[in-house]
């Protein structure tokens, strides 16, 4: 896999853009977060620089799947209490994790002020990664739709359940009203490739028929007891041996993503796209976030923490006293120059040149457009016609997008019935799962699932990998009865307790 992608723009020194993968679903419980985490680990294992952003801003759980315990998270970043570098967690194989917010009501739907703060922070760390994986919240919330629209590739997770297909269709329908999407479907919890393709054909056919777009089939993941056990043990299956059957589906997904054509020179950065959306869709009822004060305004953190705006200067993640002194010296020198200069237009041209360098370097403006527009409104005599031209510029791209947007879904589109007896089931029947193709627990070898889970929990302190513990258990090297109860040692000639229970339940 290629580790870097060339960035866009005419500046040859511009930092490459990361590939943004938005992993989303219409309903919860379809394995979306597990797929995002295991896919991120697989990509990092292949040598790519990966960052997983827990974009479920209300009920975050990526750090839980990895067994990480953050002291700070997205709420502190959005409130301006710390830079985003302070909340980055180290995951497996060099993968970085940005933990989200859990149980914080103010973070469920991000206000424009908090979105600007997030954009500012992410713009500073984007160049450090090859892949930025967004684990969005399920559903059609505004913040979820914003994250989905910002992705270069949207990975839509579905299962054979009619509720999953229906909700995924609704999510796609609503998201297409905002922005055209490059959507790839991942079918989870299926028995084999034939069932996965049948499920995808039902869903893809309905999307093409009712929404007028085509979605791609990225891959599938079989029903696997190891995935469920990995969630309980907080040990993702992507950390198993590369030859483990549970790892192969994510290896196929990573390879399929690598095979997809993606031209970074014609793509936007995550932060730049989101900031443009904020400019085009201002909220007239926006109120300042309580407790964040003026610190949430968009431009304050970049000038204060990045150093002088220059295409060749890397951003400073942790500004020290020396950096602040340099900024203060620069500010005093500018004030002295402003008092001495006789040509304000020349000074304005110089400032605009610096601002253009800042935009080329970071992909976002160095001024707060809302504050600037408010000043223009308060001083109409100094900017005649400027506001009218700004309005015309903002309205023009929206008209073009609506005219050229493929498969723009309207409110009149009726969500099809994906049920067993619905109209889509008449010509395409999902095959019944094949029992011999499903990954199941060998009860005769390991005991019941509950007994195995209790044994694994008790064995965690022995310092062995999960795969080593299972191999030791399967080879019979552990003499403890699966039930874990005292006095359960087997006598010669006796049958194991769980086999005897099976015979009692199924008499011949």
Is residue 217 within 8 Å of 190, Cβ to Cβ? no
DSSP label of 503: H
CA dihedral 340, 341, 342, 344 (to 10 degrees): -140
**Pick from 239, 165, 240: which is nearest to 203 by CA?**
165
Residue 271 in contact with residue 364, Cβ under 8 Å?
yes
Own/partner contacts of 353-356, CB < 8 Å, gap of 24 or more, are: 354/309, 355/309
Q: State the CB neighbour count (10 A cutoff) for residue 411.
A: 7
Q: Which of 97, 108, 147, 449 is nearest to 273 (CA)?
A: 147
Residue matched to tokens 């610190």: 295
Whole-number pLDDT of residue 448: 80
Specify whether the CB–CB gap between 212 and 183 falls below 8 A. Answer: no
Contact 53, 135 (CB under 8 A): yes
Dihedral sign, Cα of residue 344, residue 349, residue 354, residue 356 = positive
Alpha-carbon gap, residue 28 to 360, rounded angstroms? 39
Which tokens hold the place of 383?
């900017």
Is residue 345 a contact partner of residue 338, using CB atoms and an 8 Å limit? no
Residue with tokens 């997030």: 118
> Tokens 């796609």 label which residue?
172
Burial class (CB in 10 A: 0-12, 13-18, 19+), 203: buried
Residue 282 per-residue DSSP state: -
Q: Tell me the per-residue pLDDT of 295-338, one tens digit each, with 9 for 90 and over.
A: 333 333 333 334 433 333 334 344 456 777 787 888 888 888 77
What's the whole-model pTM score? 0.61
**Strands, sheet with 183-190, edge to edge from the N-terminal-most edge strand:** 89-90, 96-98, 50-55, 131-136, 19-24, 153-158, 183-190, 216-222
Cβ-Cβ contacts under 8 Å for 164 (sequence gap 6 or more):
25, 26, 27, 30, 158
Convert the pLDDT of each residue in 460-484 to its tens digit: 666 667 777 777 777 776 644 444 4
* DSSP SS3 for 87: helix
Q: What is the spatial distance between Cα 84 and Cα 65, in angstroms, rounded to a whole number? A: 21
Q: Which residue numbers in the chain have pLDDT < 70?
A: 1-15, 102-109, 263-269, 271-321, 343, 361-363, 384, 396-411, 420-441, 460-464, 477-508
Cβ proximity of 347 and 337 under 8 Å: yes
Cα 495 to Cα 508: distance, rounded to the nearest angstrom: 17
Q: Which residues have a Cβ under 8 Å from the Cβ of 392 and sit 6 or more positions away?
A: none
Q: How is residue 291 written in tokens?
A: 């407790």
469/78 Cα distance (integer angstroms): 42
Contact 232, 453 (CB under 8 A): yes
pLDDT at 172: 96
What are the DSSP calls for 127-149, one per residue?
Answer: GG-SEEEEEEPSS--HHHHHHHH
128: Cβ contacts below 8 Å, ≥ 6 apart: 49, 51
Q: In the structure encoding, which two tokens stand for residue 446, read together?
A: 């390991």
Q: Hunting for tokens 């905002």 — which residue is that?
A: 178
Residues 87, 118 contacting (CB under 8 angstroms): no
Calpha distance 27→140 (Å, rounded) = 9
Residue with tokens 């990975």: 155
Give kind and range of the element (H or E) at residue 62: helix 62-65
Contact (Cβ atoms closer than 8 angstroms) between residue 68 and residue 89:
yes
* Alpha carbon distance 132, 50 (integer Å): 6
């Amino acid at each position: 896999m290629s580790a870097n992608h060339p960035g866009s723009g005419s500046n040859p020194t511009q930092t490459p853009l990361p590939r943004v993968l938005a992993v989303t679903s219409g309903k919860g419980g379809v394995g979306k977060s597990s797929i995002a985490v295991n896919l991120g680990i697989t990509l990092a294992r292949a040598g790519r620089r990966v960052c997983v952003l827990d974009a479920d801003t209300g009920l975050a759980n990526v750090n839980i799947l990895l067994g990480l315990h953050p002291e700070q998270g997205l709420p502190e970043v959005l409130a301006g209490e710390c830079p985003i570098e302070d909340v980055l967690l180290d995951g497996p194989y060099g993968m970085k994790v940005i933990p989200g917010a859990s149980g914080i009501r103010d973070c469920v739907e991000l206000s424009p002020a908090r979105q600007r703060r997030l954009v500012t922070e992410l713009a500073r760390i984007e160049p450090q990664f090859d892949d930025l994986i967004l684990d969005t919240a399920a559903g059609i919330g505004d913040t979820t739709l914003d994250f989905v629209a910002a992705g270069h590739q949207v990975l839509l997770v579905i299962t054979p359940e009619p509720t999953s297909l229906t909700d995924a269709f609704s999510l796609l329908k609503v998201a297409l009203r905002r922005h055209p999407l490059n959507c790839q479907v991942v079918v989870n919890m299926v028995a084999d490739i034939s069932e996965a393709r049948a499920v995808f054909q039902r869903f893809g056919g309905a999307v093409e028929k009712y929404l007028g777009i085509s979605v791609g089939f990225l891959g599938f993941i079989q029903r696997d007891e190891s995935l469920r056990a990995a969630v309980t043990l907080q040990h993702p299956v992507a950390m198993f041996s590369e030859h483990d059957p549970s790892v192969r589906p994510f290896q196929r997904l990573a390879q399929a993503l690598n095979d997809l054509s993606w031209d970074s020179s014609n793509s936007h950065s995550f932060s730049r796209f989101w900031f443009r959306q904020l400019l085009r869709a201002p909220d007239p009822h926006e109120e300042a976030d309580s407790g964040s004060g003026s610190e949430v305004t968009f431009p304050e953190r970049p000038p204060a923490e990045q150093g002088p705006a220059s295409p060749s200067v890397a951003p400073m993640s942790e500004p020290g006293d020396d950096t602040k002194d340099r900024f203060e010296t620069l500010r005093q020198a500018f004030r002295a120059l402003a008092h001495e200069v006789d040509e304000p237009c020349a000074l304005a041209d110089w400032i605009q040149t610096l601002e253009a360098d800042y935009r080329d370097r970071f992909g976002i403006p160095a001024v707060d457009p809302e504050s600037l527009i408010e000043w223009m409104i308060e001083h109409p005599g100094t900017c005649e016609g400027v506001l009218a031209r700004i309005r015309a510029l903002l309205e023009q791209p929206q008209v073009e997008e609506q005219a050229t947007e493929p498969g723009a879904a309207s409110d009149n589109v009726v969500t099809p019935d994906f049920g067993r007896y619905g109209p889509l089931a008449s010509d395409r029947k999902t095959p019944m799962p094949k029992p011999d193709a499903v990954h199941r627990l060998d009860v005769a070898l390991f005991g019941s699932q509950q007994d195995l889970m209790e044994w694994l929990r008790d064995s965690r302190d022995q310092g062995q990998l999960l795969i080593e513990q299972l191999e030791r258990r399967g080879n019979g090297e552990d003499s403890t009865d699966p039930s874990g109860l005292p006095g359960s040692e087997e006598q010669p000639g006796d049958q194991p307790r769980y086999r005897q229970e099976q015979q009692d339940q199924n008499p011949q």
